[in-house]
Chains A and B, each alone.
Chain A
Amino acid sequence: MRIYRFELKKLLSSVAVWGFLAACLSVNMAFVCNSRDPYGDFIGTVSKQTGYVLNNDFYDKLSKLTVEKAHADYLERLKIETENVEDVFEGYNAKRIGERYIEAAKLEGIFAEAMRHKYTRLQKVTDEKAKSDESLSLYFAGSTYYRHQFLFNDLIGVLLTEGALASVLLALLAAGYEGIYRTENLVYSSKKGREILRPKLFASLSAGVMFYALLAFITFLVYFGINDFGGIGKSFVSSVFNYRIDLIAGDRPFITWQSFTVQTYLLAVLFVGAGIVLCFSLMAFGIGVFVRNSYISFFLFLIANAATLALPLQMPLNSIGYAVISVIVLSPVTLWLKHGLWFTDGDIDIVWTHFETLGLFVSLVVLTAFCLLALHYFRKRNLT
């Protein structure tokens, strides 16, 4: 624990880390400041009085609502948008999405079966959602798509990218610290010796997650300060107003496997995001230990991830190709790329249910094993 604290302090005393944090925050602030959505803010404020469930009580309160003149147009718009809204999951055919994907990807055999199985399960989910009227949730009415995409696709995407880059920087710094400062001979000949890489690994993992958490905390503090969510936090993300653009199956509702409110979905996404940050950290640390040069390690890290993204594009449309795609979809870089679909059925590349949870679990196991292998290799390595 004492050495872990020393190692953490060494990482956190790096000027480059704080410089990178400042740069990330500047980007995020500029990004967040351009997210103004007055109509969404109006809905957030109104929802405090009307509630977020589209039931008789909501319509009753909405009809009696009076607002200042400047917001009269917004009120009128909200009344129009929420008028005669029907449950989108009532009679919804989720299996159709699976068939469209099978047809488009020319899936056969076990992959076609797996895809059918996934959408059979999703059908049960949509049936449940229909029973509970989950889609009759206000969210941000006509502003929902913009708000949802900005928060869960754009902003989370930026945060994930920054968190991943920072964690890679920290992991490579931790793995190569003694090489950079030419202290390898002193440190690795001490009693603790090469076992010091373990506390270094834990320090870099925790520093990476701390960086991500700090970045997320400050960014959301400003974001929620600027954008009024009012009473919308408990609204379901699978709202009738929320949808996703799907070029193969057509525009369709945003269907999550579980019932997520905006608050719980944000927490779940941030939690998985932290897991992805850990994965990138483990990957970079392992490469750093094998290579012992931070710059070359970073280059290799980029190459490995670029290759992971490029490989599926080179795959033929057959069982082997789809097998490769199905595995690669569980890799951290693909999970990062598909962050906007987490906790949903995903897209044509995904045959797994809960692909983000499965992918995170598989990635953590594989990359932990990779790191342990690197540590084992380092134990008997000649340090010239």
Chain B
Amino acid sequence: MLAVNRVTKKYGGFTALEDISIEFTKGVYALLSPNGGGKTTLIKMLVTLLFPTKGEILWDGSDISSLGEEYREIIGYLPQDFGYYKNQTPRTFLNYLAALKGIEPGTAKKKTEELLRLVSLGDVADKKMRKFSGGMIQRVGIAQALLNDPKLLILDEPTAGLDPKERVRFRNLISELSKDRIVILSTHIVSDVETIANRVIMLKDRKILCNDTPSNICNTLKGKVYETRNTDAIPKPYFPLTQRQEDGYTYVRFVCDEECPGPAKPVTPNLEDVFLYVFRDEVI
């Protein structure tokens, strides 16, 4: 089990995270917050790239910074917008990272082949990565995160750059992997979270706003989300969420804190509604 105990992270006078406590057991945890909300800071502390200013992070009861290699050995990490060696092939790059992860050469070779096939890069395994698209690089990143069969898989914006088909494949893969390990993912793409996350952790104003199942989080707006094509007829103050086009009309989805009589139809709230409503001051 991974436990974040009362962790605060400060950069000089700026507080990025304050008094965060979370416990992670098997399953998929999604971190949600707008840009600059502290997701990446929290993730970087979980992978020992940053150290808490206050508090501690424990793996099975031991501090992760004192565990060192023993802890990092069980991590698979896909950073957001990560770099790569342009002159190397994905095979060489994965072999190098396998060496850094302490995987024996024979095992590394086998695992590299297997993962390159899994992320559909088998055909370009010996091509230099300089000519790869963003989606291909993202798949290399996903493959490297899985090299050591990690007990703790941490993915920062994992579906960025993937096409819809790849995203669905990846979501299925995450679901499969989460059966016997902890998967923590941070994303802006709320639809990814809704389908695969067991729990959603929302960060707001440097603190945890909620840590619950997607359905419980959606229920916080139950009876408050409506849809209409005639916003002029809404009698109460409302907060617009999204718009969609249908039959030549623009349908507006909105939140109304009180019961909203008139032409608007109540709809079932989804995670995106909650996200937009909760972060309404911060959404650009």
Binding site for B on A (CB under 8 A): 2-3, 6, 10, 13, 178, 181-193, 195-196, 380, 382-384
CB distance from A17 to the nearest CB of B (A): 13
Residue on A nearest B148 in the bound complex, by CB: A191
How many angstroms from the CA of A13 to the CA of B50 in the assembled complex?
A: 31
Q: Enumerate 15 A-B pairs (CB-CB under 8 Å) in ascending A order.
A: A2-B105, A6-B99, A182-B81, A186-B82, A189-B48, A189-B72, A191-B72, A191-B102, A191-B148, A192-B99, A193-B72, A380-B51, A382-B49, A384-B11, A384-B44
How many angstroms from the CA of A193 to the CA of B99 in the assembled complex?
A: 11
Contact A10 B85, beta carbon cutoff 8 Å: yes
Main secondary structure of the interface of B (DSSP, over half): loop
Contact B50 A187, beta carbon cutoff 8 Å: no
Among A2, A13, A178, A189, which residue has its beta carbon within 8 angstroms of that of B99? A2
* New contact pairs (14) apart from A183-B82, A190-B97, CB-CB < 8 Å: A183-B84, A184-B83, A185-B47, A185-B49, A186-B77, A188-B49, A189-B49, A191-B101, A192-B99, A193-B72, A196-B100, A382-B49, A383-B49, A384-B50
Contact B44 A383, beta carbon cutoff 8 Å: yes
Contact A181 B83, beta carbon cutoff 8 Å: yes
B186, CB-defined interface residue at 8 Å: no
Contact A193 B79, beta carbon cutoff 8 Å: no
Contact A185 B84, beta carbon cutoff 8 Å: no
B159, CB-defined interface residue at 8 Å: no
Residues of A within 8 A of B144 (CB): 186
CB distance from A181 to the nearest CB of B (A): 5
Residue on B nearest A179 in the bound complex, by CB: B83
Binding site for A on B (CB under 8 A): 11, 44, 47-51, 68-69, 72-73, 75, 77, 79, 81-87, 96-97, 99-102, 105, 141, 144, 148
How many angstroms from the CA of A382 to the CA of B12 in the assembled complex?
A: 12
Closest 3 CB pairs of A and B: A182-B83, A185-B79, A190-B100
Chain A CB count within 10 A is highest, among B50, B51, B85, B86, for B85
Residues of A within 8 A of B11 (CB): 384
CB distance from B71 to the nearest CB of A (A): 9
Residues of B within 8 A of A192 (CB): 69, 99-102
CB distance from B64 to the nearest CB of A (A): 11
Contact B77 A189, beta carbon cutoff 8 Å: yes
Residues of B within 8 A of A188 (CB): 49
CB distance from A171 to the nearest CB of B (A): 19
Residues of A within 8 A of B68 (CB): 193
Residue on B nearest A189 in the bound complex, by CB: B47
How many angstroms from the CA of A208 to the CA of B19 in the assembled complex?
A: 48
Residues of B within 8 A of A196 (CB): 100
How many angstroms from the CA of A188 to the CA of B77 in the assembled complex?
A: 11
How many angstroms from the CA of A195 to the CA of B44 in the assembled complex?
A: 18
Contact A3 B77, beta carbon cutoff 8 Å: no
Residues of A within 8 A of B100 (CB): 3, 187, 190-192, 196
CB distance from A162 to the nearest CB of B (A): 25
Residue on A nearest B85 in the bound complex, by CB: A181
How many angstroms from the CA of A380 to the CA of B144 in the assembled complex?
A: 25
Chain A CB count within 10 A is highest, among B73, B75, B79, B99, for B99
Residues of B within 8 A of A383 (CB): 44, 49-50
